[in-house]
């Protein structure tokens, strides 16, 4: 049964880099405004991933210019997500970084992971 679902999802599958929780990523999305298409970049830390196979999503959190935290949820296979670039790997010990919402400034930093993930 799973194979049949996968057969439906297959044409929508996108090649994406391997992402991990805590990574700093640059997500380029296509935005249609007034009939014209332009690109928008959202840069932040991946604080959560959820779903499975065709419905997988990841949540990116950033602090905007006026210091307000902004989170966006992107589906892995979304066609409007043009590119995902990993800027920096993060060294974290949990699967969801929701605790970071309560922190700001220096406390909200995430250590960099240099060695490859086992």
Partner 1 sequence: MKALLGKKIGMTMIYKDGVAVPVTVVKAGPCIVVQKKTVETDGYNAIQIGFEELSQKRVNKPMSGHFKKAGTEPVRYLREVRIDNVDDYKIGQIIDVSIFKEGEFVDVSGKTKGKGFQGPVKRWNFAGHVKTHGTKYPRHGSTGMHTYPGKVLKGTKMPGRMGNVNMTILNLEIAKVDKDNSLLVIKGAVPGARGSLVYVRSAVRGGKTSSSPSRPKQQLRRK
The three-state secondary structure class of 84 is strand
- Nearest distance in Å: CB 107, partner 1: 35
Q: Burial level of 27, CB count in 10 A (0-12/13-18/19+)?
A: buried
* Residue 89 tokens, joined: 């790997």
Q: Which is nearer to partner 1, 69 or 75 (CB)?
A: 75
What is the spatial distance between Cα 33 and Cα 55, in angstroms, rounded to a whole number? 26
Q: Which of residues 5, 41, 73, 83 is near partner 1 by CB under 8 A? A: 5
Number of chain positions touching partner 1 (CB under 8 A): 17
Nearer to partner 1 by Cβ, of 6 and 109: the residue is 6
Please state, in angstroms and rounded to a whole number, the distance separating the CA atoms of residues 51 and 85: 21
- Return the residues of window 29-88 that contact partner 1 according to CB under 8 A: 30, 53-55, 75, 77-80
Residue owning tokens 């830390």: 45
Among 9, 39, 43, 112, binds partner 1 (CB under 8 A): 9
- Residues forming contacts to partner 1 in the complex (CB under 8 A) are 1-2, 4-5, 7-9, 12, 30, 53-55, 75, 77-80
């Amino acid at each position: 049964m799973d194979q049949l679902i996968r057969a439906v999802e297959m044409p929508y599958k996108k090649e994406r880099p391997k992402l991990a929780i805590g990574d700093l990523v640059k997500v380029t999305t296509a935005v249609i405004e007034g009939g014209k298409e332009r690109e928008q970049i959202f840069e932040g830390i991946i604080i959560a991933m959820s779903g499975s196979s065709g419905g997988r999503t990841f949540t990116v959190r950033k602090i905007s210019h006026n210091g307000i935290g902004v989170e966006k949820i992107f589906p892995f296979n979304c066609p409007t997500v043009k590119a995902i670039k990993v800027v920096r790997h993060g060294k974290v010990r949990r699967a969801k970084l929701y605790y970071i919402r309560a922190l700001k400034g220096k406390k909200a930093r995430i250590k960099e992971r240099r060695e490859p993930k086992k």
